[in-house]
Amino acid sequence: MMRTHYCGQVTEALEGQQVTVSGWVHRRRDHGGVIFIDLRDREGLVQIVVNPDDAEKFAKAEKVRSEYVLKVIGQVTARVPETINERMATGKIEIVASDIEVLSVSAPIPFQLDDKTISEEVRLTYRYLDLRREEMQYAMKTRYKVTRSMRRYLDDKGFMDMETPILTKSTPEGARDYLVPSRTHLNKFFALPQSPQLFKQLLMMSGFDRYYQITRCFRDEDLRADRQPEFTQLDIETSFMSEAEVMDLMEGLAKTIFREGVDVHFDYEFPRMTYADAISKYGIDRPDLRIKMELVDVADLLQDIDFKVFAAPAKDPMGRVAALRVPQGGKMTRKEIDDYTKFVSIYGAKGLAYIKVNDLAAGIEGLQSPIVKFFPDQVMEILARVGAQDGDLVFFGADKAKIVNEALGALRCKIGEDLGLIEQEWAPVWVVDFPMFEMDEKQARLTAVHHPFTQPKATTEEILNHTAPHQMLAKAYDLVINGIEVGGGSVRIHDTNMQAAVFKLLGISDEDANEKFGFLLNALKYGCPPHAGMAFGLDRLVMLMIKRESIRDVIAFPKTQSAACLLTEAPGIVDDQQLIDLDLRFRKPAVPKS
Amino acid sequence: MMRTHYCGQVTEALEGQQVTVSGWVHRRRDHGGVIFIDLRDREGLVQIVVNPDDAEKFAKAEKVRSEYVLKVIGQVTARVPETINERMATGKIEIVASDIEVLSVSAPIPFQLDDKTISEEVRLTYRYLDLRREEMQYAMKTRYKVTRSMRRYLDDKGFMDMETPILTKSTPEGARDYLVPSRTHLNKFFALPQSPQLFKQLLMMSGFDRYYQITRCFRDEDLRADRQPEFTQLDIETSFMSEAEVMDLMEGLAKTIFREGVDVHFDYEFPRMTYADAISKYGIDRPDLRIKMELVDVADLLQDIDFKVFAAPAKDPMGRVAALRVPQGGKMTRKEIDDYTKFVSIYGAKGLAYIKVNDLAAGIEGLQSPIVKFFPDQVMEILARVGAQDGDLVFFGADKAKIVNEALGALRCKIGEDLGLIEQEWAPVWVVDFPMFEMDEKQARLTAVHHPFTQPKATTEEILNHTAPHQMLAKAYDLVINGIEVGGGSVRIHDTNMQAAVFKLLGISDEDANEKFGFLLNALKYGCPPHAGMAFGLDRLVMLMIKRESIRDVIAFPKTQSAACLLTEAPGIVDDQQLIDLDLRFRKPAVPKS
């Protein structure tokens, strides 16, 4: 028996008992002829005391170094009052060792576990050591608590955990697939799934009624910050439930995992906001509602002024002129305003006009701004509309709506953080009534905002005869928390004719549709139940819950941003024979084997 | 609200209440001007009665066909006594419909759900319909019950569900890897994992102490009966537990899932048998103990006879001569014996000698056999040794031990089934003390029976100085039920020197070892805890539990034996541009796109 208790669970309740603990040497100190060892395991640290009463035992303890693995038998003993450590669960006791066994030695480790300055490259190369750090232990434990909590919640609601294939066919998400060459079917490839979308819909058609899976998804995306080639999704699908019922179900799930995972209690209904409102007030479909500032439209007041920078977008149906009031922003320096101007230029904004409100009562004289001279007659009404008060600053965006939304939307969050305007720790919100389609301007055709199996808020008749399909709404919903899209879902089309109408609007030919997802379209013919579903991005969700900056910090063995594993050195070079077996060769000569 | 109750759960307890049910039309009958519909959902069937009281409702019901999806509102009403169906959970009631809504129509389905003669090809092509069949619903529900039960059992024991990568590097299982070309690292490939073996060991080195995962594994094997390119494994690993503790833990798990999954109660300890005993008595390391017949060695009695067929293998150290007594097998016809002779030839046996025991008391005269004349002096002792009784038949195998074991081992099971000699429904057994190495005769070198990280029952010193390494035992264990290997595991090496010694015996150079699993060898240096683990093959286990013949019957979307998906037509042809992006081309011209 290598253990009677975890190190971190040996407390004063065990005083006087003999225990056996096993773990890693976290620290060793010699003090007054006695050796003290902090022994560490998954549950925490405990102090081991080795007295010089037995020469052999003491000699073993003297040889012990950091990260050695020991088994210690000893008696739980109260510490003397002056050495009690109230911050440790085991801080009132120590284990007086009667026997020590070195189970494994350790070479000096390449970095100290409590060193916070280690580069991510080193951490990922020695991931097995990095994972010993308290913060990584916490991250992985919380991730596990969250998935366990999700499973139990869904089990209790009658959902069945079911597996779908990993070696499969391209799915319609639109990102690039990872391909897997087949030795049995030469010149053909499996694709790794971007999601189980089609399979979970098939499971509904098979009558399983309520499905869930915590499953790996794959996207061979161009490298962007904080994406992983493989990521994990909680995926659900249900038959015979409405949009509102699915949202209620998943809101309950979100509340449960926050409560059980990180002890956060949401004792209110999550607000629901339309996509149109989100864009109008926050410039974005995943608003961070911890920050109260809002974008306010002022175009109607500025259409007839001479100042073209404002008047032109104010008159443009695709344009937008919006104001963003920064409470007590009047203290901002010229330098700070310049920096924000540079910041919004990332989003294509050509400038960042502002008004400092020094003294409202003094009228236009009480304002400080390079632009008020262009609309002296309108400025007070604008300030009234945004609710400006003395000491505030008001920023303006005027351009194509897309640019204004992105620029002011991002500025709003940045200022919110910079000026400490985050007013609550957690701000969940449902965003609903998404548009069904969007115009792909490059290709001048409609694309599906969610995916082409999403049900529009319209009948088949209305879809076919719609005069402005880009205004059609979808039965789609996203859950957003603190500006992060935690999950999204939709009601699916369960009618062959409606599906055909949507494909027609999307310009997808029957032939194309059949080649890509003919099996789903076939299945639709044989009695398809109304069904709907949702997926939560697990990595991002856990990252949000424990307030980490990167999803790599909540994945045990992540890839780097260049989609490589520093630990295993994957991807790697393969033998020529393996390629021959697959009937493949490189177009260019292979890089030399290093 | 599309449902207040599942169809299958509307019982007499709800009599008099109004309910709403939704589901598929399983059957429709018109009888005496009334329409009866059996409506089906995940939980079962309920009878809907549509009276001709309302013309519109009745007209709707008349249009209904098999597999239409309906929503029905109606009152739960007791059936008249003569129409009660005791075999149905809902057989005492019917729902008198007040409103019917057709949610989806269905084209005539290509086969009847209760037709048992449908080919597997059709079933897999229309898997979404096949899955509606009661037996497939039962299979998938049981599979879910089993995984849920596994998870809860391990959760309760402090195991943490943790994810390991799917896009990774080759692992050391030895089967062929599926490769995934990388667009970001041209000319390099990820491999899909054959198991999470190395990662789970790293998690132990990271201090997570107890890990589990129900995870997908991949092997690009040559096509054999009942293998899948992707399969699912319950994978566990634990630190600081002995071989015996891991076996106890997993025996508890097996008992729990049998109890909770299929209501089978094992109220005894699983027997434990050494590998040597299993081979000796059953010819195989996964003995089917439902059958009591055993192989009995008789070589010692036959070494000096003139009959070379027996004497030569009896004297050969690599040979074996064994007898298999078939109780009351004397009734076997010549034709049956010929068929068994053909059967053992599959395993390389050159013949199948036998003795029919007609009358033991009559001595050699009471025997019927083409061979007893060759060893008249030994035959009675042989019969005594195998416990022969009047009416029995005794088969003999004499050849290289490998051939005798495989032939008589398989014959034993075949006869057991043919003659109804299966004496119990379930026969679990632990097989332990596996050899650490086996001799690969083609390559004339040792290979690891389990894998090279398994701990031998020897010290590093003993490993290095062993004179007969193929006799060395490993701390490895398999759980076998009814002759099926349900799972296997081992204690791992946690010491760098021992690992090096094993690699040396296996003829793996330092360079090779480092290239293949250098990260694991590195990790071993920094304080590796003693650890051990096990994996259960989920597909095969569930197949066994519900007594199906193929693992395809317990996988929602399986591949065929030629590793293709008939439903989605994966693997498929990809665009040239996708290959260009991966810097790949075919060696031979691609097959034309059909």
Contact flag B208-A137 (C-beta cutoff 8 Å): yes
Range in A431-435, B97-101, B462-466 the model is least confident about: B462-466
Mean pLDDT score across all residues of chain A: 94
Residues 6+ apart with CB under 8 A from A3: A20, A21, A22, A71, B240
Contact flag A42-B208 (C-beta cutoff 8 Å): yes
Determine the Cα–Cα distance for residues B35 and B57; give it in Å rounded to an integer: 11
For residue range A53-99, what is the model confidence (pLDDT) as tens digits?
999 999 999 999 999 999 999 999 999 999 999 999 999 999 999 99
Determine the Cα–Cα distance for residues A100 and A55; give it in Å rounded to an integer: 12
Question: Would you state the pLDDT for residue B470?
Answer: 84
Burial of A537: CB neighbours in 10 Å, binned 0-12, 13-18, 19+: buried
| Smallest CA–CA distance from A187 into chain B, residue | B590
Contact flag B147-A155 (C-beta cutoff 8 Å): no
φ/ψ (deg, to 5) at A522: -60, -45
Please check the confidence at residue A467 and state whether its pLDDT lies above 90: no
Please check the confidence at residue B173 and state whether its pLDDT lies above 80: no
B191 neighbourhood in chain A, CB within 8 Å: 570, 572
Determine the Cα–Cα distance for residues B434 and B478; give it in Å rounded to an integer: 9
pLDDT band at B172 (very low <50, low <70, confident <90, very high): low
Please check the confidence at residue B594 and state whether its pLDDT lies above 50: no
Determine the Cα–Cα distance for residues B53 and B99; give it in Å rounded to an integer: 11
Q: Determine contact, residues B484/B525, Cβ cutoff 8 Å.
A: no
B587 neighbourhood in chain A, CB within 8 Å: 580, 583-585
φ/ψ (deg, to 5) at A31: -150, 115
Question: Would you state the pLDDT for residue B510?
Answer: 87
Q: How far is A240 from chain B (nearest CA, A)?
A: 6
B557 neighbourhood in chain A, CB within 8 Å: 164-165, 199, 202
Question: Would you state the pLDDT for residue A590?
Answer: 52
| Smallest CA–CA distance from A2 into chain B, residue | B240
For residue range B22-80, what is the model confidence (pLDDT) as tens digits?
999 999 999 989 999 999 999 999 999 999 999 999 999 999 999 999 999 999 999 99
Q: Which residue among A198, A526, A590 places its CB closest to the CB of B107?
A: A526
Question: Would you state the pLDDT for residue A578?
Answer: 87
Determine the Cα–Cα distance for residues B522 and B517; give it in Å rounded to an integer: 9
Contact flag A574-B179 (C-beta cutoff 8 Å): yes
Determine the Cα–Cα distance for residues A174 and A191; give it in Å rounded to an integer: 13
Question: Would you state the pLDDT for residue B413?
Answer: 97
Determine the Cα–Cα distance for residues B217 and A317; give it in Å rounded to an integer: 55
pLDDT band at A446 (very low <50, low <70, confident <90, very high): confident
The one-character DSSP state at B81 is: G
CB pairs under 8 A between A and B: 354
Q: How far is A48 from chain B (nearest CA, A)?
A: 18
| Smallest CA–CA distance from A588 into chain B, residue | B583
Determine the Cα–Cα distance for residues A26 and A39; give it in Å rounded to an integer: 6
Residues 6+ apart with CB under 8 A from B72: B20, B21, B22, B37, B39, B48, B95, B97, B99, B100, B101
Contact flag A104-B494 (C-beta cutoff 8 Å): yes
Determine the Cα–Cα distance for residues A272 and A275; give it in Å rounded to an integer: 10
Closest CA to B392 of B422, B370, B423, B366: B366
Please check the confidence at residue A594 and state whether its pLDDT lies above 70: no
Please check the confidence at residue B386 and state whether its pLDDT lies above 60: yes
β-bridge mates for residue A295, sequence order: A324
| HEC assignment per residue over A376-443 | CCCHHHHHHHHCCCCCCEEEEEEEEHHHHHHHHHHHHHHHHHHCCCECCCCCEEEEECCECEEEECCC
The CATH fold assigned to B7-104 is OB fold (Dihydrolipoamide Acetyltransferase, E2P) (2.40.50)
The one-character DSSP state at A226 is: T
Question: Would you state the pLDDT for residue B123?
Answer: 96
**Domain boundary assignment for chain B:** 7-104, 134-270+535-577, 291-423, 430-526
Q: Give mean pLDDT, residues B343-360.
A: 96
Question: Would you state the pLDDT for residue B171?
Answer: 65
A582 neighbourhood in chain B, CB within 8 Å: 179
The yes-or-no answer to whether B134-270+535-577 and B291-423 have a common fold is no
A495 neighbourhood in chain B, CB within 8 Å: 104
Which pair of structure tokens corresponds to residue A408?
């002011």
Contact flag A166-B232 (C-beta cutoff 8 Å): no
Q: What separation, in Å, do the N-terminal and C-terminal C-alpha atoms of chain B show?
A: 46
Q: How far is B101 from chain A (nearest CA, A)?
A: 12
Q: How far is B303 from chain A (nearest CA, A)?
A: 48
Residue B369, number of CB atoms within 10 A of its CB: 17
Please check the confidence at residue B591 and state whether its pLDDT lies above 60: no
Report which secondary-structure segment, H or E, holds B446: strand B445-448
CATH number for A134-264+536-577: choose from 1.10.1060.10, 3.30.930.10, 3.30.420.40, 3.30.1360.30. 3.30.930.10
Q: How far is A160 from chain B (nearest CA, A)?
A: 6
Identify the residue among A179, A201, A238 best suited for mutation to test binding to B, counting B beta carbons within 10 A and taking the highest: A179
Report which secondary-structure segment, H or E, holds A168: none
Residue B347 CA: distances (Å) to CA of B276, B283, B313: 20, 12, 16
Range in A6-15, A89-98, A171-180, B195-204 the model is least confident about: A171-180
A162 neighbourhood in chain B, CB within 8 Å: 140, 143-144, 556
Identify the residue among B167, B584, B591 best suited for mutation to test binding to A, counting A beta carbons within 10 A and taking the highest: B167
Contact flag A240-B3 (C-beta cutoff 8 Å): yes
Please check the confidence at residue A115 and state whether its pLDDT lies above 50: yes
B540 labelled ligand-binding: yes
Please check the confidence at residue A133 and state whether its pLDDT lies above 80: yes
For residue range A24-64, what is the model confidence (pLDDT) as tens digits?
999 999 999 999 999 999 999 999 999 999 999 999 999 99
Alpha-carbon torsion, ordered A161, A163, A164, A167, to 10 deg: 150
Please check the confidence at residue B416 and state whether its pLDDT lies above 90: yes
Q: What separation, in Å, do the N-terminal and C-terminal C-alpha atoms of chain A show?
A: 46
Identify the residue among A22, A63, A184 best suited for mutation to test binding to B, counting B beta carbons within 10 A and taking the highest: A184
Contact flag A182-B563 (C-beta cutoff 8 Å): yes
Q: How far is B391 from chain A (nearest CA, A)?
A: 51
For residue range A352-377, what is the model confidence (pLDDT) as tens digits?
999 999 999 999 999 999 999 999 99
Which residues of A are known binding-site members?
173, 219-221, 228, 450, 485, 492, 537-540
Rg (CA), chain B: 30
Tell me the residue length of chain B: 594
Please, what CATH class does the domain formed by B134-270+535-577 belong to?
Answer: alpha beta
B537 labelled ligand-binding: yes
Q: Give mean pLDDT, residues B468-494.
A: 95
Q: Determine contact, residues A196/A215, Cβ cutoff 8 Å.
A: yes
Q: How far is B280 from chain A (nearest CA, A)?
A: 33
Q: Which residue among B210, B232, B525 places its CB closest to the CB of A163?
A: B232
Please check the confidence at residue A308 and state whether its pLDDT lies above 70: yes
Q: Which residue among A202, A230, A587 places its CB closest to the CB of B166?
A: A230
Mean pLDDT score across all residues of chain B: 94
Residue B137 CA: distances (Å) to CA of B123, B511, B554: 14, 51, 10
Determine the Cα–Cα distance for residues B549 and B543; give it in Å rounded to an integer: 7
Q: How far is A199 from chain B (nearest CA, A)?
A: 8
For residue range A309-325, what is the model confidence (pLDDT) as tens digits?
999 999 999 999 999 99
Q: How far is B491 from chain A (nearest CA, A)?
A: 14
| Smallest CA–CA distance from A213 into chain B, residue | B144
Contact flag B2-A530 (C-beta cutoff 8 Å): yes
Please, what CATH class does the domain formed by B291-423 belong to?
Answer: alpha beta
Contact flag A567-B519 (C-beta cutoff 8 Å): yes
B221 compared with B376, residue with greater pLDDT? B376
Determine the Cα–Cα distance for residues B375 and A64; give it in Å rounded to an integer: 69
| HEC assignment per residue over B171-239 | CCCCCCCCEEECCCCCCCEEECCCCCHHHHHHHHHCCCCEEEEEEEEECCCCCCCCCCCEEEEEEEEEE
Closest CA to A588 of B581, B576, B191: B581
ipTM for the predicted complex = 0.95
Which pair of structure tokens corresponds to residue A476?
């789609």
B219 labelled ligand-binding: yes
Tokens 């051990």 sit at which residue?
B532
Identify the residue among B106, B233, B240 best suited for mutation to test binding to A, counting A beta carbons within 10 A and taking the highest: B240
Identify the residue among B126, B184, B246 best suited for mutation to test binding to A, counting A beta carbons within 10 A and taking the highest: B184
Residue B174, number of CB atoms within 10 A of its CB: 11
pTM comes to 0.95
Q: Which residue among B40, B574, B587 places its CB closest to the CB of A584?
A: B587
Determine the Cα–Cα distance for residues A67 and A337; give it in Å rounded to an integer: 51
- For strand B93-104 and strand B69-78, is the pairing parallel, antiparallel, or unpaired? antiparallel
- For strand B160-161 and strand B210-218, is the pairing parallel, antiparallel, or unpaired? parallel
